[in-house]
Structure 1
């Protein structure tokens, strides 16, 4: 944990690094997903669990950043801080999504060829506001709440639990919060074991919203409880061990077959309920000693949110190319690597040339005391 002279609190550099590791795994997962025929043969099979990992990280760091500030911070100021932190890149993700959508083929996306430009621009503007759209307004054919930038669905739930935290959860005792976390864990395990995984949450209908709330409630408030009760230790090489464990969990093959889905559901739920809190505990208990390690963690933390919220328009384009050309991964890998590198480059460019300057300007306007590039908050992407 690094002490930051520009902030009143130490900075969890390893947690930033872990967030970046998980974000890169998400990009690799989505690239490989374009070549999968089902959940069974998906490479980097459990990459979708990174979303739940992000939620847990977010709960831990939101508690760390804000639990002791409520005596001098209003709810309005809290919401203002969260909007400044999250919303600029939401807008950029929606704009990039619209640009990529305009040039995409309609083969794997059946509605694209039927969508007028004005309708696409309307969906882009709505996406910039984070207002969810119903399936009847879908312009891609995948029933996404944000059809120009699918992963934005998790930011919707991030906003929801942030609101609940500010209005209710920040006041809960450890006992009441523990009860909420236990009940949420039960709902998550029930969902995963019956469905076979926790995949879902990106559509605005009753079943998908049930999945979305199950996926956010335990991780976020479990992370908040972990922050409040954890007794951190001094763990050597914490970044190495926690990163390896994160990669192993996300890259593990599918467990079981279509005839025993409960096995994979049990893996998903136990990873979220037990292993992810352990990873965050390890990361929060360690400290980066080397200059190289500090630079790596800073870079990974810096690009984690930008890459999560901007990479998926590239995935749409890549998926359309794979679908139209019927190209297997063993032949597509040069382009696959190029897209991966492009996702990182675009994220870094957006961070330096857009996100940081915009947030600095907004913070100045809002007279927010915390410097943008040293903020130690972890979002769920």
Structure 2
């Protein structure tokens, strides 16, 4: 994460103050948590809190603990209630336990109350445990805005035993979310001559290569050394890239498409699945607008990889096989709104171009067919 001030100072929030990782990490971090506070408020989903209670109880039994469910999403109503609960409990540290939305909620509550925060991911679906960023959604799950936080978490605890209890789908989604770093950072920042941004882009390339080489084997052998390497890649290394490179290395079209889809998708798919589909849309746009053969080849490579590990390739894979033109246009309008990250692309994207890309992610490299598709959408809109 990064911010540029009026006096040209450049501030980076790169990493958590401390990371503890390993099998059974939770059983050995009681002292580290206690250093952050004696009255923790633990935030998570109802199911997650029940599952992790046995993991957390031994290390928290000497502390004055309260728990609270964040609900279905990191939304303004939940944030307001949770801040009240933290105040009533006189919490001096917030502990977030769960997936990306639970951790985003915990980080944002801690940020608003100026309290330290501990993140304990229960899956490898995102890098939310690492980052100084929280996404805020509506109560129905539609993306609204993100909030840049003052710092990364004070403590991140990555327990491989806990991560292994998550459905495999979450790791697959995490692979999709993490691999997007290369496709987004390279197109938005690959030309940069700034040392740290160059480093972030190259780290994104390394991340991509690790995932290409190791994901299939990792998914076949949960708990193995190679599985742990992929978990580290999705939870930790993906966060490093945004920390070193700042906002311009974080999100471009793939995440913009995700944000649009949340307004029509409901809960049929999870974050990384939408982002993975969004990468294909971004590459399709590069083919359409720039005539990029490199993007065309990259899309074909990704389609093969997605087939191998089970990531979505088209709208129907996201539960949107019966999407209407109106719904497609709604998602595209959100994705191309004035504040959207899609504008970090090095070219302008028209609404009809994005709609065409969204319905042709698996198309063969055929520019004639694509022109017909765009013209058809234009006619329907008129």
Larger helix percent: 1
TM-score (norm. length: structure 2): 0.28
Q: TM-score scaled to structure 1, two decimals?
A: 0.28
Greater strand share, structure number:
2
Q: Which has the higher contact order (CA 8 A, sep 6+)?
A: 1
